[in-house]
Amino acid sequence: MASYLRFIRDNARWIGGGFLLTFFSSFGQTFFISLSGAEIRSDFNLSHGEFGGIYMVATLASAATLPFLGRLVDITTVSRTLLIVIPMLAIATASMAVSQSIALLVLTIYLLRLFGQGMMSHTAVTAMGRWYTGHRGRAVSLVSLGHQGGEAVLPLLTIVLFTWFGWRQTWLISSVILILLALPVTSILMSVERKPQHNDAPERRSSVVQWRRDQVIRDPLFWRLISAVLAPSFIGTAIFFHQDYLVTLRDWPTESFAKAFSVMAAITVTCSLITGQLVDRFSGVRLLPYFLLPLGCGCFVIWNIQAVVGIYLFMALLGCSYGMSSVLFGALWPELYGTAHLGAIRSLVTALMVFSSALGPGVTGWLIDAGVPYTLQLLVLGCYCLLASALMFSLRKAYMQR
């Protein structure tokens, strides 16, 4: 912990700016959007499957856009990128407050996903991957805590604001916060680009070749790795999006999911900080086989346990996988493919993760409408995590032999 505190002290502006970016990306994350899910379905007269389909289409469109927009981080400074990204996210949150038609709802979700989940997180983690070498795992782990900060604070706060002002007014308040707080503070903090220092700890492993994105796409190992990388976004988004359905199915208190987010956030923070040190010590590729194991166990828990304790156990296990993966996915790409084209490579990966998060609500929603038991879906997802973990053992060996 002392080493983390020293690192934060010496790098406060960059770590603080990245933390705020991931925190405010919450306005485009599924967990935040789903807090209004019941109200949106009611106002627009949508079923679970219909809303899941709209969400999927809008998110897929954002995933298709992200590889092109994500290259901004390679061709301009982070601070200039933020002058585009944050105002566009503010426009999206304001649009949710006034949307009355299906067409505007689709456009709104598209913008929320592209500039919230996509560009805000992508900009923060890409900056850390490029600005740090031997301390990359530590930097990514600290910046990624902004996601957990949002998950811990915003669900309960949003429920209170819904009660006081209504769900549409709460989205408008979010827009004001982005313009008056997020934009000026992050722009100032990240206005100075950090250069890796001579006294930074050396990387234990780094790519000799600076891969271009088209080369990465043709790498067969990359696609084997992606089969595991996409699992947390697919599973977590699917369960968050249909949280009201799961609560009703299990007859849990309506506030149980909101409270469980705090548990998940606390576990994620702990695992993220631990993983950051492990990555710096051993390299990210060595940890690949382990990050999906807690998520697989969590799916088995929520499949089998009907008592309300099941959601807390699941969120704790999900937090373990989220904490590990948030650091791995920030440190792994520069480690395997270099930093010269990191923005383009990470935008591709982020787009695939957004694509996966789009499929989660859509596929599970359609299966729910088709009568496929939700519990059976959870069992299948848990088995997939275990199989993907087994695949990562052989993949780790293949990467390390390069």
Q: Is 196 left (phi over 0), alpha (psi -120 to 50) or beta?
A: beta
Kind and range of the H or E element at 173? helix 167-177
User: What residues have CB less than 8 Å from 155, skipping those under 6 apart?
Assistant: 31, 32, 35, 257, 258, 261, 262
pLDDT lower than 70: segments of the chain: 1-4, 134, 196-208, 402
What span, in angstroms and rounded, lies between the C-alpha atoms of 56 and 39? 18
Q: What is the pTM of this model?
A: 0.75
Least Cα distance to 319 among 259, 253, 368, 272 occurs for 272
What span, in angstroms and rounded, lies between the C-alpha atoms of 270 and 280? 16
Domain 9-192+208-400: which topology?
Growth Hormone; Chain: A; (1.20.1250)
Please, what is the angle between helix 309-337 and helix 243-250, to 10°?
A: 150
Which pLDDT score is estimated for 196? 62
Which pLDDT score is estimated for 189? 92
Give domain limits for the chain. Answer: 9-192+208-400
User: What residues have CB less than 8 Å from 272, skipping those under 6 apart?
Assistant: 141, 144, 145, 148, 322, 323, 324, 326, 327
Which pLDDT score is estimated for 379? 94
Kind and range of the H or E element at 83? helix 78-98
Which pLDDT score is estimated for 88? 96
Helical ranges in 190-308 per DSSP H: 213-217, 220-229, 231-241, 243-250, 256-282, 293-304
Least Cα distance to 306 among 247, 264, 238, 262 occurs for 247
Tell me the longest C-alpha to C-alpha distance in the chain.
60
Which pLDDT score is estimated for 384? 95
Please give the single-letter amino acid code of residue 268. Answer: T
Which pLDDT score is estimated for 198? 52
Which pLDDT score is estimated for 237? 83
Least Cα distance to 183 among 316, 289, 90 occurs for 90
Distances 320 to 76, 272, 276 between C-alpha atoms, Å: 35, 8, 13
User: What residues have CB less than 8 Å from 43, skipping those under 6 apart?
Assistant: none
Which pLDDT score is estimated for 96? 93
What span, in angstroms and rounded, lies between the C-alpha atoms of 19 and 400? 31
Where do we find the tokens 């099941």?
310
Do the Cβ atoms of 47 and 41 come closer than 8 Å? yes
Where do we find the tokens 């993760």?
353
Do the Cβ atoms of 228 and 288 come closer than 8 Å? yes
Which pLDDT score is estimated for 78? 87
What span, in angstroms and rounded, lies between the C-alpha atoms of 134 and 334? 11
Which pLDDT score is estimated for 84? 94
User: What residues have CB less than 8 Å from 13, skipping those under 6 apart?
Assistant: 189, 190, 192
